[in-house]
């Protein structure tokens, strides 16, 4: 029996008169790896920010473990949700270790403990970046910085990870490395991961469930094999594709845009 971790019901959100989310309803179960797909500007990042409580829906509710996100204090929410943005710039000169240690902030009262430091090293090791622990964060490449931010979210030890295009700055090797880590966390530690992904094949390979958004609505939702079809991709993206199977997972081969 699945345990519902995130419950989104009839959520609407807009900027001024521009409606970005229009009647979003979906349940995400504990331990699921969920990818959100869709064209640019369709509301994917807005939905993630609403789940994180950074934005307040104008209608509808988002609940974590049955509790309305908007009614949970930020300190408590930080022990439940870890948010990884597409990029992160630090105004301060921090080492990688100190940047990841920030993930322990919800648990630190006065100063970090040995336990906190061990958890930082554990997170660094999971991302295979323990060798740059003492380097300056601002001097790293964009890909290295992104792995550090993901490590910070892991050090936070939350039940839910929200990733907003978190692998977009990584090369293909590091994309796969990070995705294997996230998938492993969902299966072995029962963490729920909700990710915005642009690469349809990455989503197909690692997701338990895929949500395809179009015009602020969930156009399709379900397992990759059911959702990633020629017809659905053509409808949402305006692109003709072929679909093959690799290790029983859909493999999307783009052919041409519909206007060509």
Q: 132-154 pLDDT, tens per residue? A: 999 999 888 877 888 898 899 89
Please, where are the H alpha helices in the chain?
44-51, 74-77, 96-101, 114-126, 142-155, 172-188, 200-206, 224-227, 230-237
DSSP assigned state of 86: S
The domain spans of the chain are: 1-80+158-228, 92-156
CATH 3.20.20.140 fits 1-80+158-228, yes or no: no
C-alpha span between 196 and 167 (Å, rounded): 9
Q: What is the pLDDT of residues 77-108, one digit of tens each?
A: 988 999 888 766 655 678 999 999 998 988 88
State pTM to two decimals.
0.89
Residue 40 pLDDT = 92
């Amino acid at each position: 029996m699945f345990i519902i971790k995130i419950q989104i019901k009839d959520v609407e959100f807009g900027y001024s008169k521009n409606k970005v989310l229009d009647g979003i309803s979906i349940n995400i179960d504990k331990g699921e790896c969920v990818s959100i797909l869709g064209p640019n500007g369709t509301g994917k990042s807005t939905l993630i920010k609403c789940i994180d409580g950074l934005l307040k829906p104008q209608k509808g509710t988002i609940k974590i473990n049955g509790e309305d996100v908007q009614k949970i204090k930020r300190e408590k929410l930080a022990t439940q949700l870890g948010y990884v943005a597409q990029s992160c710039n630090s105004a301060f000169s921090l080492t990688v270790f100190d940047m990841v240690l920030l993930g322990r902030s919800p648990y630190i009262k006065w100063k970090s403990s040995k336990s906190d430091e061990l958890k930082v090293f554990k997170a660094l090791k999971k991302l295979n970046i323990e060798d740059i622990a003492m380097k300056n964060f601002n001097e790293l490449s964009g890909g290295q910085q992104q792995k550090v931010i993901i490590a910070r979210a892991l050090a936070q030890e939350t039940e839910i990870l929200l990733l907003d295009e978190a692998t977009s700055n990584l090369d293909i090797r590091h994309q796969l490395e990070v995705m294997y880590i996230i998938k492993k966390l969902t299966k072995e530690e029962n963490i729920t991961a909700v990710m915005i992904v642009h690469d349809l094949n990455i989503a197909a390979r690692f997701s338990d469930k895929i949500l395809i958004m179009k015009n602020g609505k969930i156009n399709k939702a379900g397992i990759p094999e059911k959702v990633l079809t020629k017809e659905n991709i053509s409808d949402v993206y305006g692109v003709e594709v072929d679909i093959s199977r690799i290790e029983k997972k859909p493999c999307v081969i783009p052919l041409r845009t519909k206007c060509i």
